Structures are given as structure tokens and as C-alpha cells.
Amino acid sequence: MAFTIAIDGPAAAGKGTISRAVAAHFGFAHLDTGLLYRAVGRRMLEGVPPIAAAQTLTAQDLGGTGLRAPEVSQAASRVAAIPEVRAALVDFQRAFARRDGGAVLDGRDIGTVICPEADAKLFVTASPEVRARRRFDELCATGVTTDYARVLEETRERDDRDATRADAPLRAAPDAVVIDTSALDVEAAVAAAIAAVETRSGRARA
């Protein structure tokens, strides 16, 4: 049986951690849709035109190192504003969402555009300062040299580009449960997400 959980939100709000934990809890498959845009962004930086890159993306492009590098994050949000790039990635995401056994997809437009019929929708957010601090710590842990002020500026830049683009802008679906993780640790955020999905699925079965 298919059961789709859509998890959207801005950069470094904790979507990835929450999505992986929610998928593990329910035994569902998980797709980090940001990786698709990152892979297209990386290919653009290598000189491939972004629309062609999106139309010929392979599983191999989703692996390898460097997809989380700051320049790839910025390239991802630039290619993500191109309607033809988004269109080329729709079918793959929808097929994943409908797979048997349940699926969790995280991104920016899952509950609004990719899966408006999702069984449960979450919008995970946090203040820009908290998100930049988390991303800064993550980057330091992977050996990237940067400073907090720069990460905050890049986070705001990406938020702004993601929220103001004409095609599939970042926003919460009207029926999404909003989880602000600014003051929550990982355990509390995951518990809130699982509780929200259980409430929704109970309602879906009722």
C-alpha cells in the first residue's frame, strides 16, 4: 500500500534528520529531493547546461563527494528556479512517492506541487540564525573552512531565492503541520514529527 509523507522547509531546518528518522520509524523509503537539484547544480558547475543535466540525470550523479559543498548549495538553488529543470524531475519524484510500502520525500515543494495529495504533510522550520549555526557546525565537521557570518548570509540568500521564485516557491501547504525546531533538540523534533504523522494517518484511516 502506498502512503506518502511530504516534509518541506527551508535550508538546514532539520528536514533531513527528521525525514530519515520518520522513514526508519515507519519502515518507509526516503528520498532527499534536494540531492536531485544539488546533482544538477554540480553538473552545471562542471559546464553542463542545467536543463540537459536534469533531463539526463542518473543514479550515479546522486552519489560521490561534494554535493553538500556551499558552492553546490548555491548552484542547486539557482538551477531549481528554472521551470524546465523542475519539470524534468517531477515524474521520478512522483513515482517514488507512490511506491508500495510507504515513502517520505523531503524538499521545498513536496506538499504543494509534487504530492499535493500526500497522506501527511509537515513543514519544518527554524530561525535563520539557528539554521545557519547548524549548517556552520556541519560544514566545520566536514572540514570546510568558513565563518558563521558568511553561512548566515548564504542561508538568507538561498531562502530568499527559494521563496521568491515563480515556479514552486518554498511555502507551507495550507494543510501542513508546522514544526519550528529552533528550540527543539533532535529527539524532540523527531517525536513531534512522528506524532503529527500518526495524527494524520489516524484521520486518514477514520
Q: Using the CB atoms, write b or e for 42-66: b if 16+ within 10 Å.
A: bbbeeeeebbebbeebeeebeeeee
Contact between 12 and ligand CDP per CB under 6 A:
yes
CB of 136 to ligand CDP, least distance (A): 12
Q: Which stretch binds ligand CDP (CB under 6 A): 105-113, 116-124, 178-186, 188-196?
A: 105-113
Separation CA 64–CA 90 (nearest Å): 23
Three-state SS at 120: strand
One-character DSSP codes across 88-103: HHHHHHHHHHT-TT-E
CB of 134 to ligand CDP, least distance (A): 10
Minimal distance, residue 157 CB to ligand CDP, in Å: 10
Question: By C-beta, is 153 or 198 nearer to ligand CDP?
Answer: 153
* CB closer to ligand CDP, 27 vs 64: 64
Stretch that binds ligand CDP, among 12-20, 57-65, 115-123, 173-181 (CB under 6 A): 12-20
Q: Which of residues 170-189 bind ligand CDP (CB under 6 A)?
A: none
Q: If binding is defined by CB under 6 A, does position 162 make contact with ligand CDP?
A: yes
Name the one residue in this structure whose C-alpha cell is 521551470: 83
Question: Whole-angstrom Cα distance, residue 8 to residue 124?
Answer: 6
Which class for 136: exposed (0-12), middle (13-18), buried (19 or more C-beta within 10 A)? Answer: buried
Q: Is 121 in the site for ligand CDP (CB under 6 A)?
A: no
Q: Are 169 and 162 in contact (CB under 8 A)?
A: yes
Shortest distance, CB of residue 110 to ligand CDP, whole angstroms? 6
96 binds ligand CDP (CB under 6 A): no
In the sheet that holds 4-8, the strands lie side by side as 29-32, 103-107, 4-8, 120-125, 177-180
**Residue 30 binds ligand CDP (CB under 6 A):** no
In a 3-state reduction of DSSP, which class is residue 7? strand
Residue 19 interacts with ligand CDP (CB under 6 A): yes or no: no
Q: Does 154 bind ligand CDP (CB under 6 A)?
A: no
* Binding stretches for ligand CDP (CB under 6 A): 11-12, 15-16, 33-34, 37-38, 73, 76-77, 80, 107-110, 158, 162
